[in-house]
Amino acid sequence: MVSLRSAHRQLTKMRDIVDDALEDFVQEKMASNQAPAMSLVHEVLLAGGKRYRPVLALLAYQAAGGKEISKVMDLALSAEIIHTATLVHDDIYDSSKTRRGKPTLHASHGLAHGIIGGDYLFVLGFGLGGKYDARIVERMANTCANIASGELLQHEHIGNLATTPEDYYSIIDGKTAGPFATACSCAAIIAGASEEVINSLDQFGWEVGRAFQLVDDLLDLLGDEKMGKPRGGDVHEGKMTLPIIHALTMLHGVEREHLADILQNFSDDRWNELVSLLSAAGSFEYSEQLIENHVNRALIHLESLADTDARNLMAEVAKRSRSRKK
């Protein structure tokens, strides 16, 4: 076991390693014929964040027995760059003007530049992952394709009050959980781990990714500006997150009709009505329990790995995903 103070220090060090490598990568591209494209996206790429995906890739590599962290760094950077590409495209789809308090890429440079910037980041990310063997390339290709499918499925369900929990999980598995699983499992492949270890880390990634997205949904409803997640963005956009899906299932009669009216005619002055109905349906508690379940399953998948600092730090990341603590 590692102490909380030690875990915080080691995870911060891991994040700094990723940030330094990302900075070096950006500078390399800025000194090449890719300078115009990198000049467009470098600020969003270096804007900070928790770096969950690349940090987990580094830790999974070590937990799987890997010794030379340089061997997995391209994969770690690939995970972060592809994630950033999805954020750029998400902001376009959602017509978002700001992210983490700063103008989004398309808001500051125009729609065409936003699309090109997101495409460029996808190419960069996949190019880094493409340096590895065929198994990793195939996993990454499937993951990127599933991100697109998840996005399309989410848009098909905008404002759809008949969206089911199964629909919801299909969306988040494509958009969020899949990339976590790929980062962890591919890191294990690079480490030369057994199929058992690769599968355990793959399943760990799925569970942590699901918990991560559920927490994101709750942050949208409960609000936390410090996390760069202002309240109500998903509701305004008509996204069917799990707390809302659950409430629509649990409420009946007048209350269900009231909730449907709020969602179909939402404005900020109806916020208290929405929260009151979600509370009455037990939807916040339901979502919190699911988060706990996913985190616990993630921790169980780590039990088959050797007891190392890397494994224990992965467990700490899983636990922190409950509330997105720093």
pLDDT, residue 324, reads 62
DSSP character at residue 103:
E
Q: Up-side HSE of residue 246: CA atoms within 13 Å toward CB?
A: 21
**Cα distance between residue 50 and residue 119, in whole Å:** 23
DSSP label at residue 173: I
Please list the rounded mean pLDDT of every run of 10 residues in the chain (326 residues).
Answer: 81 95 97 96 89 97 97 98 93 83 87 95 94 95 95 95 97 97 98 98 98 94 64 90 97 97 94 96 97 98 96 95 66
The vertex-50 CA angle with 61 and 98, nearest 5°, equals: 140
Give the pLDDT confidence score for residue 229 in this predicted structure. 56
Count of structural domains within the chain: 1
For residue 17, count CB atoms less than 10 angstroms from its CB and return exposed for 0-12, middle for 13-18, buried for 19 or more. Answer: middle
User: What are 274's two structure tokens?
Assistant: 């929405």
> Rounded distance, CA 290 to CA 136, Å?
30
**pLDDT computed for residue 228 by the predictor:** 52
* Helix ranges restricted to H, the chain: 4-30, 35-45, 52-63, 70-93, 105-109, 111-129, 134-156, 165-172, 178-190, 195-222, 233-236, 242-250, 253-264, 271-280, 283-302, 309-320
Contact between 36 and 113 (Cβ < 8 Å): no
- Residue 41 is given by DSSP the state H
Is residue 311 situated within a structural domain? yes
Query: How many CB atoms are closer than 10 A to CB 296?
Result: 13
The pLDDT of residue 2 is: 67
Contact 121, 84 (CB under 8 A): yes
What CATH number is associated with residue 30? 1.10.600.10
154 vs 216: CA distance, rounded Å? 15
326 in a structural domain: no
What distance in Å separates the CA atoms of residue 138 and residue 262, rounded to the nearest whole number?
Answer: 44
- Is 181 part of a structural domain of the chain? yes
Contact by Cβ (8 Å): 160, 240: yes
pTM of the shown model: 0.93
Question: Does residue 191 form part of some domain?
Answer: yes
Task: Round to whole Å and give the CA distance between 287 and 200.
Answer: 24
Show the domain range for 283.
Answer: 4-320
Give the per-residue pLDDT at 248.
98
In a domain, 325, yes or no: no
Backbone φ/ψ region at 194: left (φ over 0), alpha (ψ -120 to 50), beta: beta
Whole-number pLDDT of residue 321: 86
